[in-house]
Structure 1
Amino acid sequence: MDSEKLAGRTLQIGDCHQVVLPMRWGDADALNHMNNTVYFRLFEEARMRFLQGSGLQVPAEQGFVLAHASCDFLRSFTYPCEVVVTHKITRVGRSSLDTELLLEKAGDASGLYAKGRTVMVWIDYPSNASMPIPDGALAALASQFAPPRAV
């Protein structure tokens, strides 16, 4: 999809962001399986890629916080490999974004290795209270996500 068609979009349910990240040698345990904490680091790295890539200008006293993160471990990754991390928007609320996360092994079409879920909430830091996500934030994030069926 060309960038002119994506200009002016806002983040929508079903939009996806995908990134390929390497499993590092130090990510493995003694059995050569990826340590369970690394799955959450992969979620985090992929999330930071779309947040920073969006160019989102966040006010000093506002921004997203991670309110929830979970992971279902389906199969073990083994070193060496590359992990395909997909964030899929499942809900756009007044002050929060819900995502489904899918972890697959690059070059392996046999299915998921893990799936997870995150909830990010836009808050006012001084009051520690949620507030509406600014429209500009959703538009900035949309620049990093592909519409459904484009991933």
Structure 2
Amino acid sequence: MQVADQSGLPRIGGVFSCVMPLRWGDLDALNHVNNTLYFRYAEEARIHLFAAAGIVLPSARVGVLAHASFDFLKPLLYPATVVISLVLTRLGRSSMEFEVLVECREDPGVVYAKGRNVMVGTDSATGKSLAWTPDELAGFAPCFVA
């Protein structure tokens, strides 16, 4: 079910999910996923979101990460398949804010880490924030499902 409203905007609360295999090399000396990798998983999910919205990078529009945080709730162990969910919590003129949930496909419903990302759309040439165009918003809208 898609959550785009009739205005063509992505609806707050919609979820974009990205699935990726956990790699053995992601483990640290304690044999669990190193905390820094959670940020990389969220980065990969954001790149997949842009591609799904039709914004293939590099382009005139880039997304700059303005804020990233995580609370680590349970260690991810190898082997596993990671599910990263970006829950749209705020849509600004040139920004998007997400709650980021890290889960394991083999352990459905259990959140291993929870975080927050704020991404600002910018002009790749100037680095200045750039308002989302109606076409970009329409591209993002079907990416977020209930």
Please classify the TM superposition score into its range, dividing by the shorter chain length: 0.7 to 0.9
DSSP-derived class of the 2:65 partner: strand
Aligned to 2:138: 139
State the shift of 1:124 in Å.
2.9
* TM-score of the aligned structures, taking structure 1 as reference length: 0.84
> Residue 114 of structure 1 corresponds to which residue in structure 2?
113
1:18 corresponds to which letter in structure 2?
A: S
Cα separation, 2, equivalents of 1:135 and 1:90: 19
8 Å contact kept, 2:33–2:75: yes
Distance change (3 Å), C-alpha of 1:61 and 1:17 = closer
Identity over aligned residues, as a percent? 43
The correspondence of residues 76-115 of structure 1 with structure 2, limited to 5 A, is: 76-109=75-108, 111-115=110-114
Q: Does 1:43 align with 2:42?
A: yes
Instruction: Give 1:53 shift.
Output: 2.1
RMSD: 2.4
**Deviations 1:110-131 (CA, angstroms, capped at 9, x unpaired):** 6210011111112234443323
Which structure 1 residue ranges, 5 or more long, are not aligned? Answer: none
Which residue identity does 1:33 align to in structure 2? Answer: H
Contact 2:14 2:87 (8 Å CA) reproduced: yes
Q: List gaps (5 residues or longer) in structure 2.
A: none
Shift of 1:133: 1.4
C-alpha offsets along residues 20-44 of structure 1, whole Å, 9 cap, x if unaligned?
2111000001221001111111101
Q: Is this contact kept in 2: 1:56–1:141, CA < 8 A?
A: no
C-alpha distance in structure 1 between counterparts of 2:25 and 2:58, whole Å: 36
SS at match of 1:130: coil
> How high is the TM-score relative to the length of structure 2?
0.86
Who is 2:67 aligned against?
A: 68
- 2:32 is aligned to 33
Find the residue that maps to 2:107 and give its secondary structure. Answer: coil
User: Cα distance, 1:60 vs. partner?
Assistant: 4.8
Aligned length: 145
Q: 1:145 Cα deviation (Å)?
A: 1.8
Q: Which amino acid aligns with 1:73?
A: F
CA distance in 2, matches of 1:112, 1:48: 22
